[in-house]
């Protein structure tokens, strides 16, 4: 595991060095960006809608019983913004996009297409890794912003429609706006950017390390998704701790 982390850090450094060549790969970057966004937007909206709804459904009646109905908007707003939207969308993208990236690069590695690129003096990192890294690092924060907004909507709908809560949508949003500010939104978007980089690194690394036959591609995909989720959850704690320290 430690060796893998070191190799991924090295891959990240090599990708960073290749960043000045990103303009030449702009077509690949845009293609990957729109593919990630179009494939994941509807799913992320549905997921976040019900996450916000469940938050309000579970916490709303308890808060109303204690005479704190105004806290519902604050709870859903901050939870979606700072924690649930970045983490859940990152896990979704790791399973939906990261696995596809690993399978694509892994199949190229197994069938020696990457060796062919090296023979033609084409750098695989510039040609394969860099566009995918830029695309996923840019697409994930945008998906998280959509997820936050839809999650707020889901919490508001449940708060209005559930008779055990019974607060107005205006009251819900008013209290949400009081609690949630730009620093909270920056917190969530910054997290998702870091998670996007991690997913891209893990997916590309696992794909390029694939060896053997078609069966090895499936094993690499599995390892890619598992490692991405583990790294996301570990980094979530440390990044949150860092933000709390500077608040």
pLDDT digits (tens, 9 = 90+) for 149-199: 999 999 999 999 888 888 888 989 998 998 898 988 999 999 999 999 999
Mean pLDDT of 64-93: 90
Write out pLDDT tens, residues 89-98. 999 999 989 9
Kindly give the residue spans of alpha helices, DSSP state H, lying in 80-181.
85-93, 99-110, 113-119, 124, 130-161, 169-179
For residue 39, pLDDT over 90 is answered with: no
| Contacts of 36 by beta carbon, 8 Å cutoff, 6+ apart | 93, 97, 135, 136, 139, 140
Mean pLDDT of 98-117: 89
CA dihedral 86, 91, 92, 98 (to 10 degrees): 120
pLDDT score, position 203: 93
Q: List the structure tokens of 132.
A: 């995918």
Mean pLDDT of 83-91: 93
8 Å CB contact between 159 and 72: yes
Rounded to whole angstroms, the Cα distance separating 181 from 98 reads 31
Mean pLDDT of 95-115: 89
For residue 113, pLDDT over 80 is answered with: yes
Q: What are phi and psi of 209, to 5 degrees?
A: -95, 0
Q: List the structure tokens of 127.
A: 């040609």
For residue 74, pLDDT over 70 is answered with: yes
Rounded to whole angstroms, the Cα distance separating 51 from 236 reads 18
Quickly count: other Cβ atoms within 10 Å of residue 34's Cβ: 12
Handedness of CA 25, 197, 53, 149 (dihedral sign): negative
For residue 122, pLDDT over 70 is answered with: yes
Q: List the structure tokens of 182.
A: 């730009």
pLDDT band at 235 (very low <50, low <70, confident <90, very high): very high
8 Å CB contact between 147 and 45: yes
Rounded to whole angstroms, the Cα distance separating 160 from 157 reads 5
pLDDT score, position 194: 94
pLDDT band at 1 (very low <50, low <70, confident <90, very high): low
8 Å CB contact between 11 and 129: yes
Write out pLDDT tens, residues 57-66. 998 888 888 8
For residue 246, pLDDT over 90 is answered with: no
Average pLDDT, the chain: 89
pLDDT score, position 76: 92
């Amino acid at each position: 595991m430690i060796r893998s982390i070191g190799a991924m850090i090295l891959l990240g450094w090599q990708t960073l060095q290749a960043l000045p060549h990103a303009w030449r790969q702009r077509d690949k970057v845009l293609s990957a960006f729109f593919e990630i966004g179009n494939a994941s937007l509807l799913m992320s909206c549905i997921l976040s809608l019900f996450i916000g709804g469940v938050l309000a459904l579970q916490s709303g009646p308890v808060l109303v019983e204690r005479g704190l109905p105004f806290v519902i908007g604050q709870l859903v707003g901050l939870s979606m913004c700072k924690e649930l939207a970045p983490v859940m969308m990152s896990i979704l993208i790791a399973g939906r996009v990261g696995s596809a990236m690993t399978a694509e690069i892994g199949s190229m590695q197994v069938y020696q297409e990457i060796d062919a690129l090296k023979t033609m003096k084409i750098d695989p990192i510039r040609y394969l890794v860099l566009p995918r890294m830029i695309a996923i690092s840019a697409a994930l924060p945008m998906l998280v912003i959509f997820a936050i907004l839809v999650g707020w909507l889901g919490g508001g709908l449940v708060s209005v429609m559930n008779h055990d809560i019974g607060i107005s949508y205006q009251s819900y949003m008013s209290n949400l706006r009081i609690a949630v500010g730009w620093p909270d939104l920056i917190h969530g978007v910054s997290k998702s950017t870091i998670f996007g980089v991690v997913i891209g690194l893990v997916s590309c690394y696992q794909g390029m390390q694939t060896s053997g036959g078609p069966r090895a591609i499936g094993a690499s995909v599995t390892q890619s998704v598992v490692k991405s989720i583990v790294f996301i959850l570990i980094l979530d704690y440390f990044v949150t701790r860092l933000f709390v320290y500077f608040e």
